[in-house]
Structure formats: structure tokens, C-alpha cells
């Protein structure tokens, strides 16, 4: 089979493709696993962090990709149910131990044995992949294969982030950063909380225009002041400055949810700008998001089908994965990028 292989961590620049397209042996499903013929795989910012060494894979070489839509073509010993021929998704959560206190409470995203697709196990930048049968997700028939791919990460993590805000209908929400996850959260808010205005903070004029086209009440830069204080804000940026800016425009008792796998170390000086009275007093809260649970993925897929949530996507053949990653790094884009098998 063909696969895009990451052999070493390195910076992504134009003309310097970190992934190598090559022929490798197709995997075979082990006990409790299914084999998927990959149909599409979303391209995520987390892969930039993996490639450039900020969140390196557990081992190299590695096949990246954790927003995978595939058709089950084989199953290993012990797999129950009619999987063959079905369309399934594989998300960031590849597996969890199932026995720790967090798994017992339905918080498998906090499991110390949490494994991530494309980081701790080979992912979907390939024609075939294997995954634990208990951690694949049925794709509703009404969802298009390509448009469903970003729902598995950008959508699921956006759903978890929105849940953690505690938002109620009519309360004002802010979104700092407006990429693949942000535009899906905006769709979701309009479905679940139709009376809640959404305010978008984005560095790119194109992203701000896109947010207004999708129904945002207001859009500005991260340090612009929205027309009203906000009840909750979801931050999806890799830098510290938007965190400080967001805290300054929260209502008393408001909550900032940080949906980011990392923050840039060279931006730590922004923390020195933290002013207790302006940013944290009046019982403001900061909460981080860690990974996703299977329930987040499955609940969001159901909501996406019910609400007819369709992400805006740009497709690339598997052979052009490096191009998709470089354009993602540049940041001026609408919606999500998806690799399709040739």
C-alpha cells in the first residue's frame, strides 16, 4: 500500500516536504482490531506539532492522521458484530486502558494509558490502517465521507470544548481562532443555542469574513473589544496573547476554555502581562481541554447529522499531503483540509 511516512521531525517549509510517499506492507488486524480501507483523512494542526517536534510521535517512522474515514474490509479474532463493509471513523482517541479511575468515570481522555491515533499508533495518511474495534465510530449515512473526516477531531474537540463552557441559551460566546474547529463550533452553537450570539477573534481578515458569513454576531482581532462582555470563550490558538486578551473581556463568573495541545514557549512573556484585577478577579475561570472521549465523537456525529452540519473542506490527493500541511501552517484558509485516496 501507499503511505505518507514521517521519518524525522523537522520544520515545515515550502519545498521541504517532511513526509515521504512510499510503498509499505499493508497492516493485518490483530485480536480485537479491524482493518480499514482509508477513504479520506483530515489534516490537523496537531500534525504540525508532531512533525516539527513540539508534540513528537511515540516512535519513528510514523504514519500520521487522526481524522480517518474508512471502510472495514477485515476483522481480527474476537471482534463481534457486523463490521465488514461498514463505513467507520477513527478519531484522536485510538485506545484507553478501560480499567483506571478515569475510564471508570467516562473520562477516558484523562486515562494515563491514553493512546492517540497517528502519534502513538499509525494513522490514516495511508491506503489502509488498523484500529481497535471498540474505538471506531459508525458514520451516519447522511454524512458525506469527505465532509465527515474533520468532524472526528475538529468537530469532536469543539463539542467537548463547548460542553466545558457551561454555556446556556442566550449567553454570549467568544471563539478565539477560527480554523477547522472554530467554524464547526459556530454551526453547533446555532443549532443548540439559537439565541446565543457568537463573537469571533481571528488574526486573518479572511477568517473574520468567513465567520460573519456563517452567522457570527461580530468578528475582530484578539485584542479588539467586542460589543458586549462574554459569558464564555473558547481559545484554539497556540500562543499566549489571546489568552490574556480573552480574560479581559469575560463577564464576572465567565469561563475561558483553552482548546490547545500546547502554547508557544517563546511567547511566555505574555504571562507577565497578567493583571489579577483585570483578568482573573470576579471569579473568572480557566479550564483546559485534554483529548476527547469516544462519547464526544459519537455525540457530535449524531448532532452533525441532525443539524446538517457540513464543514467547508478543501481536498488533496494523498500524494500532496505535504502541500496541504504547508498551506495549513500558513494559516489563511477557510474550513478544513482533507486528504483523499487516489
The verdict on 136 and 262 lying in the same domain is: no
Do both 310 and 180 map to the same domain?
no
Closest alpha carbon to 88 in 152, 174, 2, 12? 152
Q: What percent of the chain has pLDDT over 70?
A: 97
Q: For the ranges 15-24, 141-150, 286-295, which has the lowest average pLDDT?
A: 15-24
Residues 216 and 325 in one domain: no
Query: Within this chain, do residues 114 and 44 fall inside the same structural domain, yes or no?
Result: yes
**Cβ(86)–Cβ(138) below 8 Å:** yes
The residue-averaged pLDDT of 328-341 equals 84
Alpha helices in the chain (DSSP H): 45-51, 101-104, 145-148, 154-165, 180-192, 205-213, 241-248, 294-307, 321-330
pLDDT of the residue at 257: 97
Judge if 15 and 106 occupy the same domain: yes
Classify residue 217 as exposed, middle or buried by CB count within 10 Å of its CB (0-12, 13-18, 19+): middle
| Predicted pLDDT of residue 124 | 98
Q: What is the pTM of this model?
A: 0.93
* Per-residue pLDDT band at 332 (split at 50, 70, 90): low
Question: Which domain-ending residue is among 270, 288, 306?
Answer: 288
Q: Are residues 296 and 334 located together in one domain of the fold? A: yes
Mean pLDDT along residues 283-287: 95
What CATH number should be reported for the domain holding residue 119? Answer: 3.90.180.10
Query: What is the tens place of the pLDDT at every residue in 170-215?
Result: 999 999 988 878 889 999 999 999 999 999 999 889 889 999 999 9
| Summary mean pLDDT of the chain | 93
Tell me, yes or no, whether 48 and 120 share the same domain: yes
Same domain for 255 and 185, yes or no, is yes
Main-chain dihedrals φ then ψ at residue 106, nearest 5 degrees: 75, 15
| Domain end point (choices 288, 303, 330) | 288
Same structural domain, 85 and 221:
no
9 and 59 share one domain = yes
Q: Do 104 and 25 belong to one domain?
A: yes
Q: Which three cell numbers stand for residue 17?
A: 516536504
**Residue 170 domain boundaries:** 155-288
Asked if 171 and 102 sit in the same domain, the reply is no
pLDDT of residue 25: 97
Q: Residue 207: which CATH number?
A: 3.40.50.720
Range with the poorest average pLDDT among 138-142, 204-208, 263-267? 263-267
Closest CA to 77 of 24, 114, 113, 130: 130
Question: What total number of domains does the chain contain?
Answer: 2
Distant-in-sequence, close-in-space partners of 277: CB < 8 Å, separation ≥ 6: none
Lowest mean pLDDT among 16-20, 212-216, 290-294, 334-338: 334-338
- At residue 104, φ and ψ (nearest 5 deg) are -65, -25
Amino acid at each position: 500500500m501507499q503511505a505518507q511516512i514521517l521519518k524525522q521531525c523537522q520544520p515545515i517549509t515550502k519545498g521541504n516536504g517532511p513526509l515521504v510517499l512510499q510503498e509499505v506492507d499493508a497492516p493485518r488486524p490483530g485480536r480485537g482490531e479491524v482493518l480499514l480501507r482509508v477513504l479520506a483523512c483530515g489534516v490537523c494542526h496537531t500534525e504540525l506539532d508532531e512533525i516539527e517536534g513540539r508534540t513528537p510521535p511515540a516512535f519513528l517512522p510514523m504514519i500520521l492522521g487522526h481524522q480517518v474515514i474508512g471502510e472495514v474490509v477485515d476483522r481480527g479474532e474476537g471482534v463481534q458484530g457486523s463490521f465488514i463493509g461498514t463505513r467507520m471513523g477513527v478519531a484522536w482517541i485510538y485506545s484507553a486502558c478501560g480499567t483506571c479511575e478515569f475510564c471508570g468515570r467516562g473520562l477516558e481522555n484523562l486515562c494515563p494509558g491514553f493512546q492517540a491515533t497517528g502519534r502513538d499508533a499509525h494513522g490514516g495518511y495511508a491506503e489502509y490502517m488498523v484500529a481497535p474495534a471498540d474505538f471506531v465510530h459508525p458514520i451516519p449515512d447522511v454524512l458525506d465521507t469527505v465532509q465527515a473526516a474533520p468532524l472526528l477531531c475538529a468537530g469532536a474537540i469543539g463539542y467537548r470544548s463547548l460542553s466545558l463552557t457551561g454555556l446556556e441559551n442566550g449567553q454570549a460566546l467568544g471563539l478565539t481562532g477560527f480554523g477547522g474547529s472554530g467554524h464547526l463550533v459556530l454551526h453547533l452553537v446555532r443549532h443548540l443555542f439559537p439565541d446565543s450570539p457568537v463573537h469571533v477573534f481571528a488574526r486573518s481578515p479572511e477568517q473574520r469574513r468567513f465567520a460573519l458569513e456563517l452567522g457570527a454576531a461580530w468578528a475582530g482581532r484578539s485584542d479588539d473589544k467586542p460589543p458586549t462582555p462574554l459569558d464564555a470563550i473558547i481559545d484554539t490558538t497556540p500562543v499566549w496573547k489571546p489568552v490574556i486578551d480573552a480574560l479581559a473581556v469575560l463577564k464576572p463568573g465567565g469561563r475561558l476554555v483553552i482548546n490547545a495541545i500546547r502554547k508557544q514557549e517563546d511567547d511566555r512573556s505574555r504571562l507577565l502581562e497578567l493583571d489579577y484585577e483585570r483578568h482573573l478577579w470576579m471569579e473568572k475561570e480557566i479550564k483546559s481541554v485534554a483529548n476527547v472521549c469516544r462519547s464526544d465523537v459519537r455525540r457530535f456525529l449524531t448532532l452533525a447529522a441532525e443539524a446538517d452540519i457540513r464543514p467547508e473542506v478543501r481536498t488533496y490527493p494523498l500524494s500532496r499531503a505535504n502541500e496541504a500541511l504547508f498551506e495549513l501552517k500558513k494559516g489563511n484558509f477557510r474550513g478544513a483540509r482533507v486528504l483523499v485516496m487516489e
